[in-house]
Amino acid sequence: AWYTSTAPVLGDLQLLNPEKFSLGHDRPLWAETIIEYVRSNGIPNVVLVARWSGYYKGILNESIENGTGIADFNSNLLKTVNALQNAGALVWIFKEVPNHKVFVPKALIKKELFGTDISQYTCDLNELISQNIYFDEMEAKLVLAGAKILDASDFLYNKDHNNYLMEYQGTALYYDNQHLTIEGAEKISGIFEPIFYKK
């Protein structure tokens, strides 16, 4: 179940102003409906995926006068984990992949055509820490609540340059700066093995 620009979180989050292509104010009902679907169909595993940093950044950019903030978003994320567990599912939360500073295909084209050094545009460890700072502050509480965290960054780490891959064997791993291509998804697919191959 997925809808663009729509946080997979319960609650009426006033600071998550509806984006052009999101479900907007219908989002809480959408989230509740998914949880009911999980319950009624006995779904054993649920993976919550989002560009978490984007939601945190959106909250920070809005006025606190609207009556909510990061603490409220985190509280609703915990409520979502608890509701899914009460519906009978094991909850996995996927940390967003490293975000690069430019659209990856364009950078790779410049590298190929003009020999441009694109290393300055790649995400490094410091960038990743900055990207995930608010999620990382919440991670221990999510784990304590019973969620399992999936972090695919190691699958994309380039130890030779201390940064994260834009491409692998000549193929782009992203189709913009934050969304993986099919090849990128295949590169990190091992992160999901614990869900499908439980001992």
- For 141-162, the pLDDT digits (tens) are 999 999 999 999 999 999 999 9
d(CA 191, CA 151): 7
Gap between the Cα atoms of 101 and 20, Å rounded: 23
Contact 3, 20 (CB under 8 A): no
2: pLDDT confidence band, cut at 50, 70 and 90? confident
Query: What is the pLDDT at residue 67?
Result: 46
Question: Looking at residue 33, what is its pLDDT?
Answer: 96
Region 103-122 average pLDDT = 95
| Contact present, 43 and 91 (Cβ < 8 Å) | no
Least-confidence region, from 19-33, 39-53, 130-144, 182-196: 19-33
Please report the pLDDT score of residue 23 as a whole number.
85
> CA 14, 15, 19 angle in degrees (round to 5)?
100
Angle of helix 52-61 versus helix 70-86 axis, rounded to 10: 140
Considering only CA atoms, which of 99, 191, 199 is closest in space to residue 149? 191
pTM higher than 0.85, yes or no? yes
Residue in 146, 44, 155 with CA at minimum distance from that of residue 95 = 155
3-state secondary structure (DSSP) of residue 16: coil
Q: What is the DSSP letter of 145?
A: T
For the residues of 92-129, what is the DSSP string, one character each?
EEEPPPPPPSS-HHHHHHHHHHH----GGGS-BHHHHH
Nearest-angstrom CA–CA distance, 157 and 86: 36
